[in-house]
Amino acid sequence: MKPFKGERVFTPGPVEIPDRIREVLGRQIIHHRTPEFTEAFLETRELFKRLVDCDSENFVFFSSSGTGAMEACVLNFFEEGDKVIAVVGGKFGERWAELGKHWRLKVIEHHVDWGKSVNPEDIEKLLKENPDCKGILIQMSESSTGAYHDVRAIAELTKDRDTLLVVDAITALGVYDMKPHSWGLDVVVGGSQKAFMLTPGLSMLWFSEKAKDKLTGRAYYFNVGNELKKQVEGQTAWTPAISLILALREALRILLETGMEGVENRYRTISRGMAKASESLGLRLLPENPSISLTTLLPPEGLSADEIRKAMLSEGVRVAGGQGKLKGKIFRISHMGMDVNDMVVALSVLERVLRAKGLKKESGVEAFLEEVSR
Ligand SMILES: *Cc1c(COP(=O)(O)O)cnc(C)c1O
């Protein structure tokens, strides 16, 4: 028998679920066409407004994983033949491009080396060359590489243009203190099993007034306009993921008790500490400008990323590998839902694994603790 109680999950989705949320998820179902549900739903909406620091009612919750809400963006805000720029710097950027092409948008793929962040000047140039560009599809935190894209800088370019800035913030919303309205973002997508620390199956889609004016009505199930009408009244067009809505309310309470500024600070501290620890362990970070949601590492010479993952798993810690062209080349340690003490667990296991292979340099745990207590 292994000397630990259960597997710890440090993957960038799904992430571990706090006890307070698990308690809600385990409750008996309530019916959704009831005043009880309506009250809970409206309270959830009020809390969500505080999360995004904006009084607008322009947001809906969908029963789907994050990709469902991404597809909803393409269908609800763009017509067939509309020209859009997709920033492709990883697996999820590829997904934007695929979704756009699937629904017959004219997609200009702007490729960025995997691990790099997009240069806003390149986007400015593309926008000048394509004045008819209707949208930019981008990730704020590209979870497949761990890179951060500066969506605020891009918003400066789109806010005075007839171009919607559509942000996949699935590993950013609930991590960063996002202010989509004042930053000038047009559409923001979040997902339950990432920073919201819930089970998979719920997505969130926030949009600006500028985006609202473009609603196409093309979608049936994922129809933002229909949903909005119902949801502001405390109901949903279809049967909602009832348990997940109630659990989202609890997740929002947890996040707002600390406040998003405090939550972001916690993740910033962890991210800084992880960078220091990696250096001490002789490991390189893949991204130049990392998202604070996860740490993406290249394996040391003489050991593969998958060997590290397997060895860590046998010590009770699950971390993620690479996707697409980074498969087998990197490993990713998520910070979402974690605190400093949790990260010590992951780091100490990583350190033990490297030591067993004769590859450990200085202590990662010590470097981490020194950095986070500064
Ligand atoms: C997880 C993730 C998605 C996809 O979400 P699913 O819930 O798997 O559909 C999209 N974008 C980013 C950045 C993600 O991290």
Do 317 and 9 contact (CB within 8 A), yes or no? Answer: no
Q: Separation of 149 CA from ligand 1 center, angstroms?
A: 16
Total domains, the chain: 2
Q: How far is CA 371 from CA 175, 266, 276, 336, 364, in A?
A: 20, 13, 7, 19, 11
Residue 361: its pLDDT value, please? 77
Kindly tell me the sign of the dihedral angle through the C-alpha atoms of 363, 314, 319, 21: negative
Cis preceding-peptide flag for 14 (omega within 30 of 0): yes
250/272 same-domain check: no
Residue 2 lies in a domain: no
Residue 327: its pLDDT value, please? 97
185/230 same-domain check: yes
Residue 3 lies in a domain: no
331/283 same-domain check: yes
340/202 same-domain check: no
Q: Which residues pair with 206 in a beta bridge?
A: 59, 188
**Residue 110 in 3-state DSSP?**
strand
In degrees rounded to 5, what are phi and psi of residue 95? -65, -40
114/184 same-domain check: yes
209/325 same-domain check: no
Residue 215 lies in a domain: yes
**Single residue among 211, 226, 258 that ends a domain in this structure:** 258
Other CB atoms within 10 A of residue 298 CB: 17
Instruction: For tokens 């719920």, name the residue.
Output: 202
Residue 3: its pLDDT value, please? 84
122/230 same-domain check: yes
Q: Which helix (H) or strand (E) holds 227?
A: helix 224-231
**Single residue among 203, 225, 258 that ends a domain in this structure:** 258
Q: Which of 61, 73, 92, 335 to mutate to test the pocket of ligand 1 (most atoms within 8 A of CB)?
A: 92
324/203 same-domain check: no
Residue 4: its pLDDT value, please? 86
d(CA 96, CA 89): 11
DSSP per-residue letters across 239-285? ---HHHHHHHHHHHHHHHHH-HHHHHHHHHHHHHHHHHHHHHHT-EE
Do 125 and 110 contact (CB within 8 A), yes or no? Answer: no
Q: Separation of 68 CA from ligand 1 center, angstroms?
A: 9
Q: How far is CA 293 from CA 60, 141, 150, 240, in A?
A: 24, 8, 14, 28
Q: Return the structure tokens found at 138.
A: 């981008």
Atom of ligand 1 nearest to the CA of 65: 7
Residue 331 lies in a domain: yes
Atom of ligand 1 nearest to the CA of 193: 7
Residue 325 lies in a domain: yes
240/307 same-domain check: no
- Domain assignment of residue 180, given as a range: 19-258
Pocket of ligand 1 (CB under 6 A): 12-13, 65-67, 92, 139, 143, 168, 170-171, 191, 194, 200
CATH number for the domain spanning 136: value is 3.40.640.10
Residue 1 lies in a domain: no
Residue 181 lies in a domain: yes
**Residue 188 in 3-state DSSP?**
strand
Q: Which of 99, 141, 194 to mutate to test the pocket of ligand 1 (most atoms within 8 A of CB)?
A: 194
Do 78 and 88 contact (CB within 8 A), yes or no? Answer: no
CATH number for the domain spanning 291: value is 3.90.1150.10
Q: Return the structure tokens found at 280.
A: 């001490």
Q: Return the structure tokens found at 30.
A: 């309530």
Residue 214 lies in a domain: yes
pLDDT tens, residue order, the chain (374 aa): 788 888 999 999 999 999 999 999 999 999 999 999 999 999 999 999 999 999 999 999 999 999 999 999 999 999 999 999 999 999 999 999 999 999 999 999 999 999 999 999 999 999 999 999 999 999 999 999 999 999 999 999 999 999 999 999 999 999 999 999 999 999 999 999 999 999 999 999 999 999 999 999 999 999 999 999 999 999 999 999 999 999 999 999 999 999 999 999 999 999 999 999 999 999 999 999 999 999 999 999 999 999 999 999 999 999 999 999 999 999 999 999 999 999 999 999 999 999 999 886 799 999 999 999 98
User: For 282-330, how does the pLDDT look when each residue is reduced to its tens digit (9 = 90+)?
Assistant: 999 999 999 999 999 999 999 999 999 999 999 999 999 999 999 999 9
234/278 same-domain check: no
52/200 same-domain check: yes
290/243 same-domain check: no
Residue 18: its pLDDT value, please? 98
Please state whether the predicted TM-score (pTM) of the whole model is above 0.85: yes
